[in-house]
Amino acid sequence: MAKTSTTTQGLRAAIERSGYYPALVAEAVEAAVGGDPIRSYLVHQETTFDQNEVRRHVTVLVLTDHRFIVSHTDEQAADSTSPTPYATTSTESVKLSRISSIVVSRVVANPESYAPGTLPREVVLTIGWGAVSRIDLEPAACGDPNCEADHGYTGNSTADDLSLRVSEAGDGPETVRQALAFAQALSEATADTAR
């Protein structure tokens, strides 16, 4: 990773601001990015509650000229496999040409008085590239309410490789802005590869 790049320095600073094992997360991301220049990034640290445990994890999304990189780090409490707490970090590098779907869902308050440029209170970014698909099936039926024939099943297959939710209340307005900027940059980059 080019250490002189302003974008690279911004990414490193965002990872450090997250406060979530920054040395571990940064090393994994830097190894995945390699020498590619960074076009855009998003760092999202989230805390979840799992029964009686509080769990934290961080997701880092990076866009380069030719790849979309996802890094995810989770912490785990000591358990029967490890006497001490541990963290697991994984990275995935996806060619931009493989990205098949980018969905940006915006939640806005008082839509009747919405003004362009107003920050949504929540953004959900869903990106699909074919690694994970969800299939929802239900019994098929015909229009005859008295029909007892077996019509098989009908359903939908949805690419659901990554879904990330950021909110102004939980993550702050800057993270919401960054999510929108990243989504736009990724959308533009995938449009460029389709031409």
Q: What is the pLDDT of residue 1?
A: 38
Percent of the chain with pLDDT over 70: 90
DSSP string, 73-135: EEEE--BTTBSS-EEEEEEEEEEGGG--EEEEEEE-SSGGG--TTPPPSEEEEEEE-SS-EEE
As a whole number of angstroms, the distance between CA 81 and CA 70 comes to 27
Q: What is the pLDDT of residue 195?
A: 62
Q: What is the pLDDT of residue 155?
A: 74
Q: What is the pLDDT of residue 54?
A: 72
Angular region, 51: left φ>0, alpha ψ -120 to 50, beta rest: left
As a whole number of angstroms, the distance between CA 163 and CA 185 comes to 17
> What is the model's pTM?
0.81
Q: What is the mean pLDDT of the chain?
A: 88
Please determine, for residue 186, whether its predicted confidence score (pLDDT) is greater than 70: yes
As a whole number of angstroms, the distance between CA 97 and CA 129 comes to 9
Min mean pLDDT across 77-86, 138-147, 169-178 is at 138-147
Report CA-CA distances (Å) from 145 to 74, 141, 149, 153.
50, 9, 11, 17
Look up residue 127 and give its amino acid: I
Q: What is the pLDDT of residue 5?
A: 63
Q: Is the dihedral of CA 49, 50, 56, 59 positive or negative?
A: negative
What three-state secondary structure class fits 155?
strand
User: What confidence tens digit (pLDDT) does each residue in 92-145 have?
Assistant: 999 999 999 899 999 999 999 999 999 999 999 999 997 666 677 778 888 888
User: What confidence category does residue 2 fall into, taking pLDDT thresholds of 50, 70 and 90?
Assistant: very low
- Contact in structure between 164 and 178 (CB atoms under 8 Å): no
> How far is CA 173 from its chain centroid?
17
- The candidate with the shortest Cα–Cα distance to 38, out of 57, 18, 19, 60, is 60
Please determine, for residue 3, whether its predicted confidence score (pLDDT) is greater than 80: no
User: What confidence tens digit (pLDDT) does each residue in 43-60 have?
Assistant: 998 877 777 777 788 999
User: What confidence tens digit (pLDDT) does each residue in 27-43 have?
Assistant: 999 999 999 999 999 99
